[in-house]
């Protein structure tokens, strides 16, 4: 069954909820709330990856995330650390994280893959063509699905060479990362082809701009309405991703997506909701 990964941004500048949970206590409370709503995994991040964002020193990142990771793990949550820094990944795993979610697929920090291999944690490898500050400069594809599959395949090989077998790997096609409008939709339509590569697949569409574009949102639409509409669109795309074989979906609004997935299961005559497991 497809799992729900709840987003815990401990940042001042994430595109949707930056600053809301920068305080550790607020972030911990938010994570526990997401878990109570049904999140199977809590993805804690201390550096924004929104388009145009600037890098954060790993020491600052760790100051933000480690107390949150530790508290949530101690509470029994399955915690993921959203980072592209090897030192942060290792520190977070030591604090209780079980999955390292690297949107760069190990390209941003050459030490990350060997560090994760030694840690025993699983890793989510994102499709990435460069840093957030100029990610759209590389959004040039002849066939986006073919190229995403090939580039993710290269990251699986790099992980294996570092000592991480495919059973410990999750693939994220990087929706919104170095992809514009229709390129995101084409990548989503290719989810089955990505899942056929073998490793588990993580899909993250939550509240991204291309959803608002599909909804025809007006520029002067109130932010609260835009957020609600994008959460509904996120739930729909999450169900479609689940039907295409996604292992997990990464979302801000856990309740909406969890409910949508359950309705889809009921439609199919199923009702079981699986707990997260590590394929090792």
Q: Is 268 a catalytic residue?
A: no
Q: What is the DSSP letter of 55?
A: P
Q: Are 201 and 250 in contact (CB under 8 A)?
A: no
Nearest CA among 123, 259, 241 for reference residue 250 = 241
Which one of 35, 64, 129, 250 is the catalytic residue?
250
Q: Which two tokens stand for residue 147?
A: 């190229």
Whether residue 90 contacts residue 65, with contact meaning beta carbons closer than 8 Å, is answered with no
Cα–Cα distance between 159 and 152 in angstroms, integer?
10
Query: Which residue among the candidates 179, 208, 230, 258 is catalytic per the annotation?
Result: 208
With beta carbons less than 8 A apart as the criterion, state whether 250 and 5 touch.
Answer: yes
**Catalytic annotation on 193?**
no
Q: Which residues lie closer than 8 Å to 69 by C-beta, 6 or more apart?
A: 44, 79, 81, 92, 95, 96, 97
How many residues are recorded in the chain?
280
Token code pair at residue 141: 């594809």
Q: Would you tell me how many other CB atoms lie within 10 Å of the CB of residue 236?
A: 17
Give the residue numbers annotated as catalytic, written as ranges. Answer: 208, 250
């Amino acid at each position: 069954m497809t799992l729900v990964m709840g987003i815990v941004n401990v940042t001042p500048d994430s595109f949707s909820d930056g600053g809301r949970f920068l305080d550790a206590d607020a972030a911990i409370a938010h994570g526990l709330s997401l878990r109570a709503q049904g999140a199977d995994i809590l993805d804690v991040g201390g550096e924004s990856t929104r388009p145009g964002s600037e890098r954060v020193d790993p020491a600052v990142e760790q100051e933000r995330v480690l107390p949150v990771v530790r508290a949530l793990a101690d509470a029994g949550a399955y915690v993921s650390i959203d980072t592209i820094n090897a030192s942060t990944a290792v520190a977070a795993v030591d604090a209780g994280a079980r999955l390292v979610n690297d949107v760069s697929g190990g390209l941003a920090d050459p030490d990350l893959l060997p560090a994760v291999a030694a840690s025993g944690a699983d890793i989510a490898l994102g499709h990435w063509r460069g840093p957030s500050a100029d990610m759209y400069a590389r959004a040039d594809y002849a066939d986006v699905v073919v190229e995403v599959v090939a580039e993710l395949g290269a990251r699986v090989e790099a992980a294996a060479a570092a000592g991480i077998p495919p059973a410990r790997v999750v693939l994220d096609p990087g929706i919104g990362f170095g992809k514009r409008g229709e390129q995101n939709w084409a990548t989503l339509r290719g989810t089955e082809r990505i899942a056929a590569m073998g490793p588990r697949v993580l899909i993250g569409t939550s509240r991204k701009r291309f959803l608002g574009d599909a909804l025809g949102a007006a520029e002067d639409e109130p932010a609260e309405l835009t957020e609600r509409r994008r959460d509904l669109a996120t739930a729909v795309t999450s169900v479609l991703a689940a039907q295409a074989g996604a292992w997990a979906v990464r979302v801000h609004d856990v309740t909406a997506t969890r409910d949508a997935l359950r309705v889809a299961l009921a439609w199919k005559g199923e009702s079981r909701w699986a707990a997260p497991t590590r394929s090792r």
